Amino acid sequence: MGKMNRDDYNIQDLLQREVYVKQTKVGVIVGERHHPNETRVQSMRLQVLPEIAEEYMRKPAPLAPLAKELVHSIREDGTVKLSKSMRELQRRWRNTVRIDEKLYAPDEMLDRAVVDNQGLEIGTITELVKVKRTYRGVLVNIRSGIQRKFGVEPELKIPITAFSRTRETLDEVILSRNFERVLTLPSYIAINDPNYLFEE
């Protein structure tokens, strides 16, 4: 198989392919986000080799995002060549959200439904909240029924630490508690304080 331009393939062309930066094997592409709007899907899911995670992540994670724009080509041997250096990958992995020991790029979080641990849908993530160069929370557009039931504002910030996992096939992120309990968490109260130190 000859080289393909990166505009010529989709996720099915790339699934289960090994990924290299020059001669360094980084991991294997294992999927991408399930989202109806393809323009929202800018990253793929990469199963990262343990030794790569150990060396290039602050805290090793088995799964991390791989931006589609970094894919240079599919080589003759079927492996995927990236256009950037390991340093660039490392920089991008620092600019992620960690949930359930997996890393997610900002684009993988936007528009996700937020659901509590009882299955109640709270709202949709509209942006990420950064504090001291680290993502500490998400801004959620709250469903009108939830606003009325709990007497909360149309938009709330929820700390990343309040999430326990993601549900990929439904494009959801799940809270570790019911919503009522989340509203009483010290981290929730702090991040919604007007005096909390945010970054643009």
For the beta sheet containing 80-82, the strands, ordered from the edge strand earlier in sequence to the opposite edge, are: 63-67, 43-48, 24-32, 18-21, 80-82, 71-74
Query: Where, residue-wise, is CATH 2.30.30.240 in the chain?
Result: 6-108, 110-191
Domain 110-191, CATH among 3.90.180.10, 1.10.760.10, 1.10.620.20, 2.30.30.240: 2.30.30.240
pLDDT (0 to 100) of residue 9: 64
Which tokens in the block code for residue 154?
A: 């149309």
What's the per-residue H, E or C state across 94-134?
HCCEEECCEEECHHHHCCCEEECCCCCEEEEEEEEEEECCE
Q: Classify domain 6-108 by CATH number.
A: 2.30.30.240
Q: For the chain, percent helix, then strand, then coil, each to nearest 5? A: 30, 40, 35
pTM for the full predicted model: 0.89
Average pLDDT over residues 36-45: 79
- pLDDT band at 34, cuts 50/70/90? confident
> For 102-148, how does the pLDDT look when each residue is reduced to its tens digit (9 = 90+)?
999 999 999 999 999 999 999 999 999 998 888 999 999 999 999 99
Q: Tell me whether residue 177 is exposed, middle or buried, using C-beta atoms within 10 angstroms of its C-beta: 0 to 12, 13 to 18, 19 or more.
A: middle
Which tokens in the block code for residue 136?
A: 């500490």
